[in-house]
């Protein structure tokens, strides 16, 4: 069996308000970077759905949400890249975000407005799902400033390495926390734009062709290797992003 390189945390421009790269190009970039697959985990939260045109059915709203994923998947089928569906779920009552694996388009249409549940209710919901709808819950970047780890009984693991170069994810704290609590660990690039490419992910011991196989491997395999590429390429975009973040912090401090 050949190892399977896959990024578990990827966003698209069509769906995530902070994304800067369209789904088709995302797939092409990852293929050229030597990856076998990606999971599109666009931001699923109240803000996204509230901005959609009024009068849409929930199924139509999900069709809007899936635009980036579908474009990436279509391109992936052409070039030989596996593109799976996930979400980065943010509930209405907390700034915490969770990477959800195992779901598909039918799941998102069947169970509306997941962001209204809150993590505790969502965990209870996940345990009641039939085996063919099993999902896994990993907390994304749990040690960024302003965030705290969720109660251990509510998650299946955490993202111990987040490759986004514009965020202070304090990955060393996440790694120490996961080891101390014997948690399942994953890594992801948190891709939004070109400088984020191939900065994280995992190497699975075997290929996966759908979200259900991904859940099985993440849940049961002890041979998963983490990709932790800390190299930050020089770019004017990166400098500009850093400057904007600094201005935001100074402005926030000034008006407190």
- Choosing among 3.30.360.10, 3.40.109.10, 3.20.20.140, 3.30.70.20, the CATH entry for 4-254 is 3.20.20.140
**What is the DSSP-derived secondary structure letter of residue 45?**
S
Report the alpha-carbon angle 44-115-119, nearest 5: 115
Nearest to 120 by CA among 147, 93, 100, 145: 93
Whether the CB-CB separation of 101 and 138 falls below 8 Å is answered with yes
What residue segments make up the domains of the chain, in order of their start? 4-254
Q: H or E element: which one contains 83? A: strand 82-90
User: What pLDDT was estimated at residue 2?
Assistant: 86
Q: Is residue 233 over pLDDT 50?
A: no
User: What pLDDT was estimated at residue 243?
Assistant: 56
The pTM score is: 0.90
Per-residue model confidence as pLDDT tens digits over 129-179: 999 999 999 999 999 999 999 999 999 999 999 999 999 999 999 999 999
Per-residue model confidence as pLDDT tens digits over 2-32: 899 999 999 999 999 999 999 999 999 999 9
Report the alpha-carbon angle 188-190-191, nearest 5: 120
Residues in the chain: 256
Q: Is residue 249 over pLDDT 70?
A: no
| CA dist 62 → 74, 155, 210 (Å) | 17, 25, 19
Query: pLDDT band at residue 253, thresholds of 50, 70 and 90?
Result: very low
Query: pLDDT band at residue 229, thresholds of 50, 70 and 90?
Result: confident
User: What pLDDT was estimated at residue 238?
Assistant: 46
Q: Is residue 236 over pLDDT 50?
A: no
Rounded to an integer, the average pLDDT of 52-58 is: 96
Query: pLDDT band at residue 68, thresholds of 50, 70 and 90?
Result: very high
Radius of gyration of the chain (CA): 18
Query: pLDDT band at residue 255, thresholds of 50, 70 and 90?
Result: very low
Rounded to an integer, the average pLDDT of 98-124 is: 98
Q: Is residue 202 over pLDDT 90?
A: yes
Provide the sign of the torsion angle of the four alpha carbons 205, 229, 38, 8, taken in this order: positive
User: What pLDDT was estimated at residue 197?
Assistant: 97
Query: pLDDT band at residue 50, thresholds of 50, 70 and 90?
Result: very high
Q: Is residue 79 over pLDDT 50?
A: yes
| Average pLDDT across the chain, whole number | 92
- Distance, in Å, from the CA atom of 70 to the CA atom of 68, rounded to the nearest integer, reads 6
Nearest to 23 by CA among 4, 5, 42, 7: 42
């Amino acid at each position: 069996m050949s190892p399977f390189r896959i990024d578990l945390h990827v966003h698209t421009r069509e769906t995530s308000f902070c994304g800067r790269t369209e789904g088709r190009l995302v797939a092409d970039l990852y293929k050229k970077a030597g990856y076998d697959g990606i999971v599109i985990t666009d931001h699923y939260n109240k803000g996204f759905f509230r901005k959609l045109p009024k009068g849409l059915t929930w199924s139509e709203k999900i069709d809007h949400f899936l635009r980036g994923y579908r474009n990436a998947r279509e391109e992936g089928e052409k070039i030989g890249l596996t593109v799976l569906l996930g979400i980065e779920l943010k509930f209405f009552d907390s700034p915490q975000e969770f990477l959800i694996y195992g779901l598909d388009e039918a799941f998102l249409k069947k169970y509306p407005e997941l962001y209204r549940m809150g993590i505790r209710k969502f965990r209870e919901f996940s345990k009641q799902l039939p085996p063919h709808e099993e999902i896994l819950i990993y907390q994304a970047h749990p040690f960024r400033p302003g965030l705290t780890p969720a109660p251990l009984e509510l998650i299946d693991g955490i993202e111990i390495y987040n490759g986004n170069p514009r965020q202070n994810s304090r990955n060393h704290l996440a790694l120490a926390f996961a080891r101390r609590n014997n948690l399942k660990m994953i890594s992801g690039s948190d891709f939004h734009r070109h400088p984020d490419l191939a900065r994280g992910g995992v190497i699975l011991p075997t290929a996966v062709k759908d979200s259900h196989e991904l859940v099985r491997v993440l849940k049961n395999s002890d041979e998963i290797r983490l990709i932790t590429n800390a190299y930050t390429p020089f770019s004017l975009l990166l400098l500009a992003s850093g400057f904007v973040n600094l201005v935001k912090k100074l402005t926030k401090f000034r008006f407190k």
